[in-house]
Structure 1
């Protein structure tokens, strides 16, 4: 048998789950209190909810305080049994004779309370009546008090039913779904289930629909899908309305034929809703996850099913199963976002520098500043992983500001030749919601560094042409004297026809064309043509990704201006880079 402490915790959990404490007054409860006071001819009637350290009155007649300490609570004794507790004269009862509610002037003499019992048998409080004079209830009156307490609980349960039904679909809502999941964990521990989520409509379509025509058409679609789901799944499967446009249901596991069921179900739901008034096929899709029932997995099942649903939407497929590997990557990305601030301040994120050389004479002309992240428990994290995460979460500005300040601080502190530049990479997001040209100008002024010693690299793409503000900011960066380089040129949106629209003066060839240049005649033709045309148009050209002496010789013969790659120099930490830059070594030799 559970001990008293465990029973009390379960009782309190039942009370708190009802979410009645500290709620506004309700006429349905007030009416029962008035009826009790009138029927029993007493000045005071209360609906009392007994919390851990207080009793709070959901309704009260003839009592001023909204709550009292648990030490003064008669009802705390009432909830210990299942029958009416009657105290004919509290002054004579050793349990209550020292209670301040009894000893004060015009204090309590008579008390009778009937416990408020939930369907699970937990007493959450009582309906009680109080008088200043001694009384005794008849058997009929005791029954009447029990009946009125039952009426209170009917109101509580009705309130719960209303709270746990979606008003549009009429289905049980997420609160009921989570309650049922907790019940599973209590009564079916170790069994397996499959949770399926159904998404009714693409978010963008739903938004445009409600903006154009209001909520009524959207709600028509929701009601149609709710009805179809119930019809298709039958009365033995309970369907829940778990969010505005999502439904869910549970199946036994393993579920043979689940894929066929999902395919058929989504096909059935992707139909024209009757009564909509215009043609529209809901873009329904499904996500499914199998889980073992225990408290931890139950809490996480809904999240995993939502992840599966997002996979289906991203793939534009009818359905998808939960993918643990991709989920892990998603959660890892979220953790990286949370760790960014500390990473920047603690030195986890740092810069490495890869030198760049002039091909005619091998002089070092610049170096590219490259971000690195050494996470304390994830280890080295590639920029290819964490930069997109920062871009998606709106944190790239913070990273870029740190890079700009750090690079300019080093240019100020280092004794590099005046002609030697440092190059930084800018994200397309750096041109949104801020003036990156002004940020660079002020940073150069703050660090007392000539802007001509800085180069910014941007990756070519449609984003350059789609927003006039980008070109305007790039123009002002060039007006500072800062070089603007188009990175990864030769793939994607590469097009000399629009290159003249971009205020850039440097073209960096994409490394995918350079790495195997000596073995790929097609790449040789393309590279030679790009270099020739870029030179005629007045651009300085850079080849990155050089990994062999033969490749370097070919680029020199093709007329490329500058070179960067592992054959010449790998990215290096500050001390090694400064030693390299000051050693006056001829760079066009294999690195040792």
Structure 2
């Protein structure tokens, strides 16, 4: 009947004390008045009746106290017990009066009250057996603040005041003392209730506040968003801005987590100046924040996002250093296109990742009439499954030396054997991996597949395989150790692998990237800068870059031989690369004429459809078998040259 709760909780003890004292005061007035305790002719019978009456009064006080502890509820067991005790109390009270007057007759109607008492107590005992499997599922815990928990103590307190007003200590001393005790216990209970309520609100606030920044957390945002979105209409929509900091990982890695935490603490005060009194800024976790904007259409939400983006581009001062971080912000609104809170979050998330991928800063979610948004989300989830179930594979595209036509290497290009959509290429895979945060796992899988493929030909043809690195991999200080271990697992030497990276990936943390690339080169793994000419192309950064090879992007090779400027750019790039002691690989060589012009300009290696299309491993093995082996003394891998060394012909 009494459910488990915190042991010796002050509130429960005081509630029981109020109930017991109040019930005792009332019972003393009603049952133990002068007219009730009159002895009459039969002293022994009157005393027995008085003892039974007092015992019933004590039992009733205990059950009333239990009711005060539990609060008013439909507890059948407690009701049956109280009714049984009340029945016995009525019987004992009447018996004591009749016995005192000497007119009690056995076997009369009065005896039914005791039979009823026994029946009700037995029924209460039967119902109090715990149901199988109940456990504590129905238990109640938490702060006792509902009206059910104060109804009995409050009622008995009022009754205690009435007793004090109606009976003095001279006429009913027990009742007066009990009533005074009831009121005193109630006053103490009020103090305890106040403290409990204050603690409850403090705990509730902590549960809805981010500990680091002091901002509302995800739970608080979802709770408030549920109310706001439910009230939103097409005339009064609600906007949600999802913010993800750009470059935060580099701050954490370069300056330490304490600096990262300090940066996060500055986000709230920085953005607060742009927010209205009803706008809610929350930290969702990590470096992700959200702003809920009631009564905001797409235009207003978009304008606010642009202002917040501009504020975040202003420098921060962390541990005495000026730092610049940006943000990618996704904007979505409800009730159109999002009908609920979760859909609103999903739409803003899609827009935020699209802004990050396009480096736009701010992107508004607009539903694709062809269902593109749903397709992207489905592709992201399916890619996660593909990584876990081995649906990915690599096709390999050969690279040949323009000087003698020998094979210089192959590049591993990811493919996805989708169960229903067929073979998918990088155009479908990479955006989904970027948006889903799967670039690092994807890189790991492709590296493993490429090394496994290389074991198929390395013993007969020492042709290295190239693998593209993600931005996260380039700044991973453990990458060199990981790469060497995986090479050893496949029985391959370091020169069997070339790691490619896009030049833009180094700009987030150039020093860290140079350290990683330098260590890879020291261990014997070649490094290559992919898509050169499409990113920053800073000559200052190129001067200090520890790379063996540059890959000239197809946009610079497509018109070589047909456009004078394109040819001049390619020629000067060849001279620059050679002067820096590196090898130049031309991508996108689609015909023999382009290959001939590049060879005349001094380009070292060509890759493109003029050489071969990407192909599965089995097909590549046949292709290699038909190609001439390198002549004696000519290495398959183009050897790095010292600055100013002439190009071999």
Which of 23, 28, 47 is matched with 1:40 structurally?
23
Which of 84, 87, 105 is matched with 1:89 structurally?
84
Match of 1:427 in 2: 470
- 2:22–2:159 contact (8 Å) kept in structure 1: no
| 1:463 matched to 2:482 | no
Which of 611, 617, 623 is matched with 1:580 structurally?
623
Give the alignment's Cα RMSD to 1 decimal.
5.9
User: 1:103 Cα deviation (Å)?
Assistant: 8.8
Greater C-alpha radius of gyration: 2
- 2:380–2:435 contact (8 Å) kept in structure 1: no
- 1:33–1:60 contact (8 Å) kept in structure 2: no
Which of 600, 608, 612 is matched with 1:565 structurally?
608
User: For 1:484 and 1:443, how far apart are their aligned partners in 2?
Assistant: 17
More strand by share: 1
Distance 1:515 1:411, change over 3 A: same
SS in 2 for 1:97: helix
Match of 2:277 in 1: 229
Distance 1:246 1:366, change over 3 A: closer
| 1:291 matched to 2:335 | yes
Distance 1:197 1:96, change over 3 A: farther
- 1:418–1:453 contact (8 Å) kept in structure 2: no
User: For 1:486 and 1:393, how far apart are their aligned partners in 2?
Assistant: 25
User: For 2:234 and 2:120, how far apart are their aligned partners in 1?
Assistant: 48
User: For 2:264 and 2:614, how far apart are their aligned partners in 1?
Assistant: 57
Give matches, 1:196-211, under 5 Å. Answer: 196-197=239-240, 211=262
Which of 395, 404, 407 is matched with 2:450 structurally?
407
User: 1:556 Cα deviation (Å)?
Assistant: 2.1
User: For 1:356 and 1:208, how far apart are their aligned partners in 2?
Assistant: 45
User: For 2:373 and 2:486, how far apart are their aligned partners in 1?
Assistant: 35
Match of 2:140 in 1: none
User: 1:461 Cα deviation (Å)?
Assistant: 3.8
Match of 2:224 in 1: 177
SS in 2 for 1:373: strand
Give matches, 1:483-502, under 5 Å. Answer: 483-496=526-539, 498-502=541-545
User: 1:246 Cα deviation (Å)?
Assistant: 6.3
Give matches, 1:265-284, under 5 Å. Answer: none
TM-score by length of 2: 0.55
- 1:490–1:510 contact (8 Å) kept in structure 2: yes
Match of 1:236 in 2: none
User: For 1:292 and 1:85, how far apart are their aligned partners in 2?
Assistant: 56
Give matches, 1:234-273, under 5 Å. Answer: 248=292, 250-251=294-295, 259=299
- Cα deviation, 1:206-245, whole Å, max 9, x if unaligned, reads x999949989x968996x888x536xxxxxxxx7787698
Match of 1:372 in 2: 415
- Cα deviation, 1:250-294, whole Å, max 9, x if unaligned, reads 55xxx9x87469869999xx99xxxxxxxxxxx999955131799
User: For 2:520 and 2:601, how far apart are their aligned partners in 1?
Assistant: 30
SS in 2 for 1:413: coil
- 1:359–1:556 contact (8 Å) kept in structure 2: yes
Match of 1:7 in 2: none
SS in 1 for 2:123: coil
Distance 1:35 1:192, change over 3 A: farther
| 1:343 matched to 2:386 | yes
User: For 2:421 and 2:384, how far apart are their aligned partners in 1?
Assistant: 16
Residue segments in structure 2 that go unaligned for 5+ positions in a row: 25-60, 86-115, 130-145, 164-185, 252-257, 312-325, 630-649
Distance 1:528 1:331, change over 3 A: same
Match of 2:125 in 1: 100
- 2:81–2:124 contact (8 Å) kept in structure 1: no
User: 1:388 Cα deviation (Å)?
Assistant: 6.3
- 1:368–1:424 contact (8 Å) kept in structure 2: yes
Distance 1:259 1:466, change over 3 A: closer
TM-score by length of 1: 0.60
SS in 2 for 1:98: helix
- 2:528–2:547 contact (8 Å) kept in structure 1: yes
- 1:452–1:483 contact (8 Å) kept in structure 2: yes
Match of 1:75 in 2: 74
User: 1:563 Cα deviation (Å)?
Assistant: 1.0
Match of 1:323 in 2: 366
Match of 2:598 in 1: 555
Residue segments in structure 1 that go unaligned for 5+ positions in a row: 1-19, 49-56, 62-72, 105-122, 131-136, 231-238, 272-282, 587-592
User: For 2:236 and 2:486, how far apart are their aligned partners in 1?
Assistant: 58
User: For 1:307 and 1:563, how far apart are their aligned partners in 2?
Assistant: 38
- Cα deviation, 1:389-436, whole Å, max 9, x if unaligned, reads 656777544444433333333333336643422222223322334432
Q: Which moved more, 1:95-104 or 1:553-562?
A: 95-104
Match of 2:547 in 1: 504
